[in-house]
Amino acid sequence: MENTEEAKAFLPSPVGATTNEQSRPKCKARKFLQRVTLSVLLALVAYNSVHIWRPRQQSTDAAYGITSMASGCPQVDALRPSKHQEVWSEVTKEIHTEDFRNQAVQWLSGAVQIPTESFDQMGPVGQDPRWDAFAPFHAYLETSFPLIHTTLKRTEVNTYGLIYEWVAAEDNFLKPILLAAHQDVVPVAPTTVDQWTHPPYSGHYDGQRVWGRGSNDDKSGLIGILTAVETLLKSGFKPTRNLVLAFGFDEETSGLQGAGELYKVLEQKYGKDGIAMVVDEGMGYSEQYGTYIAGPGIGEKGSLNVQVEVKAPGGHSSVPPAHTSIGVLSALLVHFEQNPFEVTLTRDQPIYSTFQCIAEHAKDVPKDLRKIIEKSAKSDCALKKLGSIVLEDNLIKSLVGSTQAIDMIQGGVKSNALPEQAWAVVNHRISVTSSVAELKARDTKLLEPIAHKFNLSYNAFGDQLTEEGASSRGSLVISDISRGGLEPAPVTPTSGDEAVAYRVLSGTIKAAFNAYRGVDGDASDIVVAPSMMSGNTDTRFYWNLTRHIFRYSHQNGGKNDNPLSQGIHTVNERIEVDAWLEMIQFYTTLILNADESTDL
């Protein structure tokens, strides 16, 4: 994940000062729109998308009604456990005690103190000794959470992958829910250690925050889930629906050896579509335009790494050709950057619905901005104007469309020898409305004129498009080095009969938000608007287990704050303990709500 700088965009004035009718827009604005700041909105929209529904009842088994057909972003009521109300009330009270806070902080701090770094291009488990760092972490979990390790079934997969199963007291046909997190953390660069306020593996607690690598991403999620389960075990709760916990150990480096192997075990046991819902790490909520907005991720962009390789005859540098392989490669890369993806905001994109949610529910959205968002639902002119505003921000543009980033380059071996080979890697993130095949076709067509210009034989993704021969001055090969790439994730249903899991999650978010603040009742001051993740989580391996996958951690980002600013993947990673305790409240409420639902 990347930190997001505050961005500003302004509503442009309509073209209307000319008397030339042909130069005027097809739909006219009644007045010049005022200049407004969209910094907070743009930060939010990076994570929020798609319309949602509202059940009128608290019970997950009750009929879910639609609040208003006219609403572009209907909401659900807070969903509190009813069958398990006594357990939930007891645990909620306990979470607010000083003893619970101290114990939870001790668990998280201790987990952070064990470095579990994963690196790119690590060898297989058992061959690369760097994986051995996870053994002490497993021992720590076993010591710290004794009730879990004496009650739940623990399975080790590929040595360091963990599956915990809390088996229901009686056999039933209810699908289990799966809570996921990852054990690994990104490495700490030795050159940055002195930049940390507290040492990166100290797990320091300053009375408000726990500091250290993994304190936020994602040991807060893993220890938060285990804390919720250990607390429920202590309360005497016995589930009627199986609960599965899955903890990979290489999420930060693609997840192939961790979640990629966990998935095989889970599918073999539970089958395709055998899980009711998956909840993995993701964004939380923050205050936007005077309103708290929660953003569970219901989709992720795809990805593809394309290697661009140029080969040319070698020789002595004193007799150079007009273009060396490095020169040709440079021209190719410049051509990439001069031809970015065309990005257009359309109504069928998830982020568009996010704007509708903000316009409908955020209290302090400027009048002119709200008006243009509302009009864009039916007016193509207003939609185009909205797009011209939001796509000025690179973050929003990147989430709407496919992207390209030249991240690696190499060529040449000596200063006086012509380079016989030069290559670069272009990382693509694929829009939810596109595909790996479409992106490959685009890259193939994009580089074809450059191959002709430099008289290169051209092979694109295994297809020889121009024959090699004496007339060519070298070769151009573009290839997929990401094992077929990753398609955009299937979008989790958020409406209709298939959206029960989404409604349960939505109501749980509101109930946890209320409970942590001591608020009773169905109403809530938090709005739920589904999100889209720009990166990928371990859920990329779980698509066959369920259609209902959510990337959500219920972390309070505060007022106008981006949770990514809390040192994730950089120096001074930390988490607010109050926000983390509310996450534990969320996991507890979700487990109980899901357990008493019979329509999941």
Average the pLDDT over 418-443 and give the result. 96
pLDDT exceeds 50 at position 44: no
Catalytic annotation, pick one of 77, 117, 165, 184: 184
Q: What is the largest CA-CA distance in the chain?
A: 85
Token pair of 184, please? 């690994």
pLDDT above 90: residue 470: no
**287-300 confidence digits (pLDDT tens):** 888 999 998 999 89
CA 372 to chain centre: 28
In this structure, of 18-22, 179-183, 232-236, 496-500, the range with the lowest mean pLDDT score is 18-22
**DSSP 3-state of 99:** helix
- pLDDT higher than 50, residue 66: no
* 407 domain residue, yes or no: yes
If you average pLDDT over every residue of the chain, what do you get? Answer: 87
Residue 323 lies in a domain: yes
Out of 10-24, 321-335, 478-492, pick the least confident.
Answer: 10-24
Is 57 within a domain? no
* Cβ neighbours around 569 below 10 Å, total: 15
Least confident of 204-218, 280-294, 302-316: 280-294
The answer to whether the beta carbons of residues 104 and 234 sit under 8 Å apart is no
pLDDT score of 496 more than 50: yes
Rounded to 5 degrees, φ, ψ at 289 are: 50, 45
Which of 17-21, 113-117, 165-169, 595-599 is modeled with the greatest confidence? 113-117
Least confident of 181-185, 221-225, 373-377, 494-498: 494-498
Q: What is the pLDDT of residue 494?
A: 86
Residue 23 lies in a domain: no
The DSSP line for 410-470 is EE-S-TTB--SEEEEEEEEEE-TT--HHHHHHHHHHHHHHHHHHTT-EEEETTEEEE---T
Average pLDDT over residues 77-102: 97
Tell me: is residue 569 an annotated ligand-binding position.
yes
* Residue 564 binned pLDDT confidence (cut-offs 50, 70, 90): low
- Judge whether residue 445 has pLDDT over 90: yes
Task: Estimate the crossing angle of helix 577-595 against helix 219-235, to 10 degrees.
Answer: 50
Whether 476 maps to a domain, the answer reads yes
pLDDT exceeds 80 at position 39: no
- 250 has pLDDT over 50: yes
**Domain harbouring 331, CATH code:** 3.30.70.360
pLDDT in tens, 553-563: 999 987 644 54
Does residue 21 carry a pLDDT above 50? no
The helix (H) or strand (E) run that includes residue 258 is none
Mean pLDDT of 589-593: 98
Distance in angstroms (rounded) separating the CA atoms of residues 182 and 172:
29
- Of residues 67 and 341, more confidently modeled: 341
Contact between 57 and 500 under an 8 Å Cβ cutoff? The reply is no
Please check the confidence at residue 33 and state whether its pLDDT lies above 80.
Answer: no
10 part of a folded domain: no
CA–CA separation, 81 and 60 (whole Å):
9
Tell me whether residue 406 is in a domain: yes
When pLDDT is cut at 50, 70 and 90, the band that residue 565 belongs to is low
Is 438 noted as a catalytic residue in this protein?
A: no
pLDDT above 80: residue 211: yes
For residue 468, the model assigns a pLDDT of 66
Q: What CA–CA distance (Å, rounded) separates 81 from 219?
A: 27
Q: Residue 64 has what pLDDT?
A: 39
Catalytic residue among 117, 218, 250, 251: 251
Q: What is the mean pLDDT of residues 81-101?
A: 98
C-alpha span between 253 and 106 (Å, rounded): 28
The whole-number pLDDT of residue 563 equals: 47
Poorest-confidence range of 308-312, 343-347, 352-356, 567-571?
352-356
Does 590 map to a domain? Answer: no
Q: Is 252 known to sit in a ligand binding site?
A: yes
Is 184 assigned a catalytic role? Answer: yes
The number of residues in the chain equals: 600
CA angle centred on 451, ends 448 and 457, rounded to 5°: 110
More confident residue, 254 or 103: 103
Q: Which residue range forms the structural domain that includes residue 431? A: 302-341+402-488
- Provide mean pLDDT across the span 415-438: 96
Q: What's the pLDDT band for 170 if we cut at 50, 70, 90?
A: confident
Tens of pLDDT, residue by residue over 360-387, are: 999 999 999 899 999 999 999 999 999 9
DSSP string, 100-118: HHHHHHHHHHHHHTS--B-
**Given this model, what pLDDT does residue 113 score?**
98
Q: What is the pLDDT of residues 543-554, one digit of tens each?
A: 999 999 999 999
Q: What domain count does the chain have?
A: 1
Residue 170 annotated as part of some ligand binding site: no
pLDDT confidence tier of residue 423, bands split at 50, 70 and 90? very high
Q: What percent of the chain has pLDDT over 90?
A: 74
Mean pLDDT of 521-537: 88
217 labeled part of a ligand binding site: yes
182 is in an annotated binding site: yes
Q: Which residues contact 359 (CB under 8 A, 6 or more apart)?
A: 72, 365, 369, 370, 373, 374
Print the SS3 string covering 266-288: HHHHHCCCCCCEEEEEEEEEEEE
φ/ψ (deg, to 5) at 534: -85, -30
Supply the pLDDT for residue 295: 87
